[in-house]
Amino acid sequence: MDRRFLQLNKLFSIRVSAIFFALIVLLSIACRKDKEDTPDGTDPPPSHQPTPYILELPEHFSIIFGPTLPEDNPLTVEGIALGKKLFFEKKLSATNQISCASCHRPESAFNDPGKAVSTGINGLTGTRNAMPLFNLAWTPTFDSKFNWRGSAESLEDQALEPVTIHFEMGETWPNVVNKLQNDAMYPPMFEAAFGTNVIDSTLVVKAIAQFERTLISGDSRMDEYVKELLNLNPPGSSDLTAQELRGFNIYVSTAKGDCFHCHGNVNLRNPLWTDFEFRNNGLDLNPDSGLALVTKKASDVGKFKTPSLRNLVYTAPYMHDGRFQTLEEVVEFYSTGVQDGPLTDPLMADRGFVNPNLTTQEKADLVAFLKTITDTVFVNNPDFRP
Ligand code: HEC
Ligand code: HEC
């Protein structure tokens, strides 16, 4: 079947499930109201009632498709506030010195800038470049996977991992739960968010995932241009320069950059700059296992999660192992360095060229375009600071 159709189909099913979910929420609110109103008071309202939180979506995201929010972990004001506290909480690590935010810094689009691989407790280093965190709620739920190699199925599952990885936070969950339970601040916050002051790892990761779903980035100069393309803004209202527009044309041109097949095409209504798929973009002839570590399929060797192209100015170095220091190096790779191995994605290898050999001008234009998807409002948002 046509990929584009598949993609639209996916988006459609997400939208349907979002509407269905909203209906269930509305119905359950309506039912609860009925019970509270019954004069005999047989079913008193629960002692706690967290406040539902409605995500505020960028205008051009809301007409495209909805975020997918799990039914067993609805967003609430109290849950998000708790999740934020936990995200910045160093007690999640064995040394009480590393929090999620140590590697995912809000001022760097929740990435750790300048590091090829992350540094965890006691200066230990891992093997992967930290991933920036934004627009995670748009990961399609039916095949959602997190981390470069797709080792987690949901944000809740994902948040379980770093705590126990020895070179990240190096702690055990029973210890974390103990520390939080004995911190006077936390039990009342869990009570407010989840109706119990008995803390467990499931509630910790639920709260963190709620906070992560609020990290929305959709306010760059490129977003203004996307709104223009979608007729939400008047024609000619965005301020992209001639060079940046040339770069965008290289991005969408099948004869030049041909980037959009994997990093999203705003003309096909994808402003997230990734298709969320796992792919081998031809970095190495003998690639690292990647997704195959999880799926055990030989055909998945060398496949990594296609990263979003938002906020790249904050997230150098680039790729799963941080091998490229600059966007110029990345673009040079796509221009002349792609390896045409047996496992290289057909979208790289079968497009009439493996390496398009862009001119110096075209490479500069492409880099200029990539920098337009920089969301300074997101990285300065006070809601995302401790
Ligand atoms: C020592 C640094 C470090 C710490 C601490 C850390 N992370 Fe990460 N994070 C990473 C790295 C590196 C990756 C990529 C991991 C991989 O692919 O194996 C990552 C990946 C992720 C992803 C996947 C994003 C995506 O798009 O798939 C999420 C979500 C995330 N981290 C959230 C968290 C949370 C929540 C915490 C705290 C509980 C945390 N991280 C703690 C370094 C860190
Ligand atoms: C076949 C799919 C595919 C195509 C086509 C493609 N990319 Fe990528 N891109 C990926 C994947 C997969 C990664 C991550 C690879 C890894 O780290 O192993 C990536 C990584 C990147 C990164 C690094 C981002 C980061 O956070 O580290 C940039 C920048 C990038 N691509 C830009 C481009 C540009 C510009 C083009 C067009 C010239 C392009 N890509 C074409 C799949 C693709």
The rounded distance, in Å, linking the Cα atoms of 109 and 131 is 9
Provide Rg for the chain, Cα atoms: 22
What dihedral do alpha carbons 284, 362, 264, 286 form, nearest 10°? 0
CB of 315 closer than 6 angstroms to any ligand 2 atom: yes
Burial 330-347 (b: 16+ CB within 10 A, else e): bbebbbeebbebebbbeb
Do 228 and 234 touch, CB atoms closer than 8 A? yes
Q: Which ligand is nearest to the CA of 201?
A: 1
Cis omega (within 30 of 0) on the bond before 317? Answer: yes
Tokens read off for 319: 């790729």
Q: Which ligand is nearest to the CA of 255?
A: 2
Mean pLDDT of all residues in the chain? Answer: 87
CB of 69 closer than 6 angstroms to any ligand 2 atom: no
Residue 68 dihedral angles phi and psi, to the nearest 5° = -100, 120
Minimum CA distance residue for ligand 1 atom 31: 131
Give the least confident one: 39-48, 88-97, 156-165.
39-48
CA distances from 345 to 91, 109, 282, 306 (A): 42, 28, 7, 12
Does residue 40 register a pLDDT over 60?
no
Query: pLDDT class for 267, splitting at 50, 70, 90?
Result: low
Query: pLDDT class for 62, splitting at 50, 70, 90?
Result: confident
- Best CA proximity match to 370, nearest among 204, 236, 221, 229: 221
The pLDDT score that the predictor gives to residue 241 is: 97
Q: What is the pLDDT of residues 114-139, one digit of tens each?
A: 999 999 999 999 999 999 999 999 98
Do 129 and 321 touch, CB atoms closer than 8 A? yes
The pLDDT score that the predictor gives to residue 348 is: 86
Do 129 and 117 touch, CB atoms closer than 8 A? yes
The pLDDT score that the predictor gives to residue 176 is: 98
> Can you tell me which atom of ligand 1 is nearest the CA of 87?
37
The pLDDT score that the predictor gives to residue 361 is: 98
Q: Which residues contact 218 (CB under 8 A, 6 or more apart)?
A: 57, 58, 60, 61, 135, 271, 375
The rounded distance, in Å, linking the Cα atoms of 51 and 384 is 19
> Can you tell me which atom of ligand 1 is nearest the CA of 161?
38
The pLDDT score that the predictor gives to residue 266 is: 67
Does residue 203 register a pLDDT over 50?
yes
Q: What is the mean pLDDT of residues 205-209?
A: 98
Using CB distances shorter than 6 Å, the residues near ligand 1 are 92, 98, 100, 102-104, 118, 120, 126, 128, 130-131, 133, 136, 146-149, 155, 158-159, 162-163, 168-169, 208, 212, 305
Query: pLDDT class for 198, splitting at 50, 70, 90?
Result: very high
CB of 227 closer than 6 angstroms to any ligand 2 atom: no
CA of 80 to the centre of ligand 2 (A): 32
> How many residues can be counted in the chain?
386
Q: What is the pLDDT of residues 277-335, one digit of tens each?
A: 999 999 999 998 999 999 999 999 999 999 999 999 999 999 999 999 999 999 999 99
